[in-house]
Structure 1
């Protein structure tokens, strides 16, 4: 038995790039409102809860790319309803992709001991580079089936990871629909939420170009954020309640980095607020 999940961005109307057409993509599942849910409704994935580091290699979630020519009929029907037909992008389209574009591709889990059932899912990734045989892109939407669940094997492709997608498996290429969202949430839902490392004693694995939430003890206009490595750049996206959203920029040096929040008190000077230890993955 196969279970298919569609996870993809809402994409703009047809656009033309380098003489090739870009297509719309419509979610198979009902898309939530663009407005962020209330705090009580938001369920954030927390990377420190990932069990991969202690999972034996023989049962670690893993998978590969789906053959776009054998997509399940119900998935094809979604594309047909959206566009009146289904036709994967040609090389001339892929050759002219930019870093503002996204690609859609299917992934499929590999059965491992104890998890014999297969999951299939369509993921969205933001283009980083266009190469002769692959498109390098970063997964830009939360995935549903990366981890094992029940008797189903997880495919192991995770939000924020860089993947090299063979041209021949790409289902669609498109430019995301413009959004009016500014500040918190403008990059989408966070991939994880992190308490201060000085409390948890943990270091968190993160990826560039991916939003994360920092749990703040308090927030004032005088709080400053500092990293201990000059070649690491970041964006403070915005706040929601006591969550400060952050994105490490593409091009930031990989490896260990410490981010500190300091309160510039007008009377006492800089006051320590919180600290997060990160390991920036490719």
Structure 2
């Protein structure tokens, strides 16, 4: 396995490459190994929701950080690719959580702003980046703004776009290389945010039945697309569908592959 600094630099470079970085989020060792062993995969990202669900917790920092980091460290040890961790909102101390993640071998991470006052959110971004500098790595912070996640259903879309850009620019100015705007799926709104932040600065999540294809995101200038909890839901959907078929008297799918 390459050293931490090299993996961090590799992950950072993937965000500025001409091809969009596609990250199928993982939640345990076997999911990480399956994704890492898939042709074309260049890095991994964990999903906090998926890890929490695997261990019986609700999403939203309900899983103890020690338990969360234990699973992440197992994932890092099981693969030979850069790993980014979903750090949620930082567990009350974003800098310390980043330091512990880096000690576990993580070289990037998501950090939610939860629409806190902008100065507080920027301070958390700065704390994470400081942890990276202290470890002598280019920690790839995917600074997340919850502008769309926490918006009211009747909120003005133009105002939401403007606020996402305002917050995103603040995080970029603080040193974050990219900004994550979940629930941004409309083509024109994506184009507006890319224009406001710059090409290869925006990251998105692929939402089943709602998001643009990754190739079209790439054309718009999006740096990265991940899958959050949806890859786990794909797996669980396949599990439930197979169970339904068996209970009805059928068989398991003929195309099932030995991936574990």
Which category describes the TM-score, using the shorter chain as reference length? under 0.3
For the pair shown, the structure with the greater C-alpha radius of gyration is 1
Q: Relative contact order (C-alpha < 8 Å, sep 6+): which is higher?
A: 2
TM-score after normalising by structure 2: 0.26
TM-score after normalising by structure 1: 0.25
